[in-house]
Chain A
Amino acid sequence: GENVEQHPSTLSVQEGDSAVIKCTYSDSASNYFPWYKQELGKRPQLIIDIRSNVGEKKDQRIAVTLNKTAKHFSLHITETQPEDSAVYFCAAQDTGRRALTFGSGTRLQVQP
Chain B
Amino acid sequence: DGGITQSPKYLFRKEGQNVTLSCEQNLNHDAMYWYRQDPGQGLRLIYYSQIVNDFQKGDIAEGYSVSREKKESFPLTVTSAQKNPTAFYLCASSLQGVGNEKLFFGSGTQLSVL
Q: Which residues of A come within 8 Å of B, CB atoms?
A: 1, 6, 9, 32, 34, 36, 42-46, 49, 89, 91, 93, 97-105
- B43 interfacial contact with A, CB 8 Å: yes
- Chain B contact-residue range equals 20 to 34
Measured CA separation A100–B35 after assembly (Å): 10
Assuming A34-B101, A34-B102, A43-B106, is B44 touching A102 (CB within 8 A)? yes
Task: List chain B residues, Cβ under 8 A from A104.
Answer: 40-42
Known: A6-B42, A49-B102, A105-B40. 9 other contacts (CB 8 A): A32-B101, A43-B1, A43-B107, A45-B105, A46-B103, A99-B45, A100-B103, A102-B44, A104-B41
B33 A99 Cβ-Cβ under 8 A:
yes
B48 contacts the other chain (CB 8 A):
yes
Cβ-based interface call for B56 (8 A): yes
Most A CB within 10 A of own CB, among B40, B43, B102, B105 = B43
> Is B15 located at the chain interface by the 8 A CB criterion?
no
Contact pattern, B 31-60, Cβ under 8 Å of A = 1, otherwise 0: 101010000111111001010000010110
Q: Among A45, A93, A97, A101, which residue has its beta carbon within 8 angstroms of that of B56?
A: A97
Q: Which residues of B contact A97 (CB under 8 A)?
A: 48, 56
Chain B's nearest CB lies how many Å from the CB of A2? 9
Decide if B40 touches A9 in the complex (CB within 8 Å).
Answer: yes
**Residues in A neighbouring B45, C-beta threshold 8 A:** 99-101
Which of A43, A44, A104 lies at the interface centre, i.e. has the most chain B CB atoms within 10 A of its CB? A43
